[in-house]
């Protein structure tokens, strides 16, 4: 007798195969049968009319600190995610000596916009080395399965001390050898890979570029020797957006050296909107040469959510705002409601700020009311609305931000929106060598909330998109289940088939939706974070246990730390194709 049968649902199994009506039988933590007339079970869950998929596998998050106090990695745990990988972008908290904890918190606060006070109060430090970090996670109750990479900033600081964060300080041969040893040690202990950053966007809270930004290639190749010699893990780079095509050259050499997956971020920027396309033939040629070189892309525009209590909004550089923002929120809101304060804010000259700050706060053709959605049309922009009303853009922005009792949002699609639509992402997510990533779950707490991206991938791309072509549902399920799992060698999940881990979503596809973003203050020490929940997840199972029901976590703690690659079941089921066209052909 099975423990549970999910009966009569529309099964999209994660491989890219067509949807079919079937029953899914679970016993213990495994799927044991998929089909019809499977036999008796202790519990039968009627899934008629509902979509049944594997749990989502999010390969790019930043829950390195949050995992020590939040076993569900929220908001990701609210969106059908059952496996997360953190330690991305070269930032994290191991290895770390006690005297360097404050420094690494400063790094994470600056790079990923996670309140330092929350990290200081919330992290339960009981490790120094990376293997000890994994041991510490393993001792904690977990709601999701979690896996980690060893980050370059922490590694470099551990080996080089404060010299590590001085812009162009070279590592000695001995220091490179020690970094290589520690990476090998981490990989043997269960790290899924090594990550680094070379982008000028990644600065500490003190404004210093993160350790490793200017590391010489000999240092990176020396570290890569650990991947080559152990035969484990992958190499992940958060690169300067405008340098990705040229850096694919040496990244290809890393792939040659290690024989292991190498991955870099790929996004479109307004400063060179067509540059990203130059990466595609390089990826294609690398795979023709048998090299595992990949890019990862977000599922939507990487967009800033602007609000009065957030990191960025159109008035952030204005002297009046700087004065009243120091008050308690209720007093600030009272000031904002005064006509004379409104008049001052829309007429006074802002402080100069950086080029980036000026761009984000004054480029009104890329500001939209959040209700316009994640693929808004140009005529919905603040600039267009102001022109239609015969007023200044700042007046429109002010009035929009004051809606919902001053808790409203403006949406600023920072990357991937130079063409005023998401057609480029349709191309990226149809490409065989680009993976779904960059949700940044747990990060950018005051400006970005993309941890709900798995839900967006289903709602927008397969059902709701009105401004361009959609993508097949089986393909989009595959993109964030089997495909992301296999990328990190997690061959035991992401598929609804006998022998696979029983991570399952039961979804009301027609009702699936993203809730309105909210600025919450629920981190340790009252730290702020943008959160976004969802409707339509009827049930989520983690390793056969009910993790969430109708959007509410049950308290189940069936998650575990994943150490290294996870072996496939005896009868592994392979993907049906590497493109949406191939999944359609599978019909």
pLDDT score at 301:
97
Mean pLDDT of 178-197: 98
Q: Helix (H, G, I), strand (E, B), or coil: what is residue 394?
A: helix
Q: What is the pLDDT of residues 2-41, one digit of tens each?
A: 999 999 999 999 999 999 999 999 999 999 999 999 999 9
pLDDT of the residue at 348: 96
Q: Is the pLDDT of residue 162 over 90?
A: no
pLDDT band at 585 (very low <50, low <70, confident <90, very high): confident
Lowest mean pLDDT among 1-15, 197-211, 214-228: 197-211
Which structural domains are found in the chain, ordered by start? 2-56+495-518+530-585 (2.30.40.10), 83-303+418-487 (3.20.20.140), 304-410 (no CATH)
Question: Rounded CA gap, 237 and 500, in Å?
Answer: 30
Q: Which residues contact 241 (CB under 8 A, 6 or more apart)?
A: 199, 265, 267, 269, 275, 415
**Digit-coded pLDDT (tens) for 423-452:** 999 999 999 999 999 999 999 999 999 999
Amino acid 157: pLDDT: 95
196: Cβ contacts below 8 Å, ≥ 6 apart: 90, 151, 152, 212, 215, 220, 236, 237, 238
What pLDDT is recorded for position 583? 74
Position 169 scores a pLDDT of 83
Handedness of CA 36, 37, 43, 48 (dihedral sign): positive
Kindly compute the dihedral angle of the four CA atoms of residues 168, 171, 172, 177, in this order, to the nearest 10 degrees.
-160
CA separation for the pair 146, 138 (Å, rounded) = 9
Q: Are the beta carbons of 207 and 111 closer than 8 angstroms?
A: no
Write out pLDDT tens, residues 100-141.
999 999 999 999 999 999 999 999 999 999 999 999 999 999
SS3 581: helix
Give me the pLDDT at residue 166, please.
Answer: 66
Peptide bond into 533 cis (omega under 30): no
Helical axes 173-189 vs 152-160, angle rounded to 10°? 130
pLDDT of residue 382: 98
- Give per-residue pLDDT as tens, 326-374: 999 999 999 999 999 999 999 999 999 888 899 999 999 999 999 999 9
Task: State residue 258's pLDDT score.
Answer: 98
CA distance 127 to 356: 38
pLDDT above 70 (res 422): yes
**Overall average pLDDT of the 521-542 stretch:** 98
Burial 80-105 (b: 16+ CB within 10 A, else e): bbbbbbbbbbbbbbbbbeeebeebbb
Query: For all residues of the chain together, what is the average pLDDT?
Result: 96
The one-character DSSP state at 443 is -
pTM for the structure as a whole: 0.97
Beta strand 534-535 with 537-542: parallel, antiparallel or unpaired? unpaired
What integer is the mean pLDDT of 489-514? 98
CA dist., res. 17 & res. 462, Å (int)? 15
Rg (CA), the chain: 24
Residue 478: CB atoms within 10 A of its CB come to: 29
Give the pLDDT mean for 201-222.
93
Q: Given this model, what pLDDT does residue 77 score?
A: 97
Q: What is the DSSP string of 218-278?
A: HHHHHHHHHHHHHT--EEEEEE-GGGHHHHHHHHHHHHHHH-S-EEEE---BTTBTTGGGG
pLDDT given at position 164: 81
For the chain, helix, strand, coil in percent to 5 are: 35, 20, 40
How far does Cα 109 stand from its chain's mean position?
16
Q: What count of residues does the chain have?
A: 587
Please write the tens of the pLDDT for every residue from 236-295. Answer: 999 999 999 999 999 999 999 999 999 999 999 999 999 999 999 999 999 999 999 999
- The closest alpha carbon to 157, from 121, 217, 208, belongs to 208
**Pairing mode of beta strands 552-553, 545-549:** antiparallel
Write the pLDDT tens digit of every residue in 56-111.
999 999 999 999 999 999 999 999 999 999 999 999 999 999 999 999 999 999 99
Range 378-381 contact pairs with CB under 8 angstroms and sequence separation of 24 or more = 378/420
């Amino acid at each position: 007798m099975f423990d549970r049968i999910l009966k009569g649902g529309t099964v999209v199994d994660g491989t890219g195969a067509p949807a079919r009506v079937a029953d899914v039988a679970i016993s213990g933590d495994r799927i044991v049968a998929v089909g019809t007339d499977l036999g008796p079970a202790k519990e039968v869950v009627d899934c008629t009319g509902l979509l049944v998929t594997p749990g989502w596998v999010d390969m790019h998050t930043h829950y390195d600190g949050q995992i020590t106090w939040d076993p569900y990695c929220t908001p990701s745990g609210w969106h059908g995610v059952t496996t997360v990988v953190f330690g991305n972008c070269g930032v994290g908290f191991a290895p770390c000596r006690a005297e360097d904890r404050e420094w690494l918190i400063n790094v994470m606060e600056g790079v990923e916009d996670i309140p330092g006070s929350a990290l200081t109060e919330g992290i339960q430090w009981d490790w120094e080395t990376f293997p000890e970090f994994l041991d510490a996670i393993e001792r904690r109750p977990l709601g999701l399965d979690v896996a980690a990479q060893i980050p370059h900033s922490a590694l470099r600081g551990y080996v080089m001390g404060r010299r590590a964060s001085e812009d162009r300080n070279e590592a000695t041969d001995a220091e490179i050898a020690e970094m290589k040893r520690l990476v090998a040690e981490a990989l043997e202990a269960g790290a899924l890979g090594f990550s680094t950053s070379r982008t000028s966007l990644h600065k500490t809270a003190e404004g210093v570029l993160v350790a490793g930004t200017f590391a010489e290639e000999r240092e990176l190749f020396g570290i890569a020797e650990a991947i080559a010699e152990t035969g484990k893990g992958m190499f992940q780079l958060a690169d300067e957006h405008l340098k990705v095509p040229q850096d694919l050259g040496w990244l290809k050499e890393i792939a040659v050296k290690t024989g292991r997956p190498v991955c870099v971020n790929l996004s479109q920027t307004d400063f060179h909107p067509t540059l990203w396309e130059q990466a595609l033939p390089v990826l294609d040629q690398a795979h023709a040469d048998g090299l595992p070189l990949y890019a990862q892309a977000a599922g939507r525009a990487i967009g800033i959510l602007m609000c009065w209590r957030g990191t960025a909004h159109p008035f952030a550089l204005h002297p009046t705002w700087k004065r009243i923002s120091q008050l308690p929120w209720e007093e600030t809101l009272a000031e904002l409601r005064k006509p004379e304060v409104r008049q001052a804010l829309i007429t006074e000259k802002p402080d100069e700020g950086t080029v980036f700050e000026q761009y984000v706060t004054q480029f009104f053709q890329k500001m939209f009311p959040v209700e316009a959605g994640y693929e808004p049309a140009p005529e919905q922009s603040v600039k267009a609305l102001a022109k239609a009303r015969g007023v200044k853009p700042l007046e429109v922005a002010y009035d929009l931000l004051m809606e919902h009792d001053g808790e409203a949002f403006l949406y600023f699609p920072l990357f991937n929106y130079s063409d005023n639509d998401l057609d480029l992402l349709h191309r990226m997510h149809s490409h065989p060598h680009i993976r779904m990533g960059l949700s940044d779950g747990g990060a950018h707490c005051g400006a970005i909330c993309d941890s709900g991206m798995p839900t967006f991938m289903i709602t927008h791309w397969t059902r709701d998109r009105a401004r361009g072509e959609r993508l097949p549902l089986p393909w989009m399920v595959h993109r964030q289940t089997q495909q992301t799992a296999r990328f990190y060698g997690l061959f035991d999940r992401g598929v609804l088939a006998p022998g696979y881990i029983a991570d399952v979503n039961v979804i009301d596809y027609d009702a699936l939706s993203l809730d309105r973003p909210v600025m919450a203050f629920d981190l340790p020490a009252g730290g702020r974070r943008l959160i976004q929940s969802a409707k339509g997840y009827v049930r989520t199972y983690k390793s056969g246990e009910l993790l969430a029901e109708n959007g509410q976590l049950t308290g189940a703690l069936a998650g575990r730390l994943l150490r290294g690659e996870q072996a496939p079941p005896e009868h592994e089921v392979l993907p049906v194709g590497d493109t949406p066209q191939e999944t359609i052909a599978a019909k």
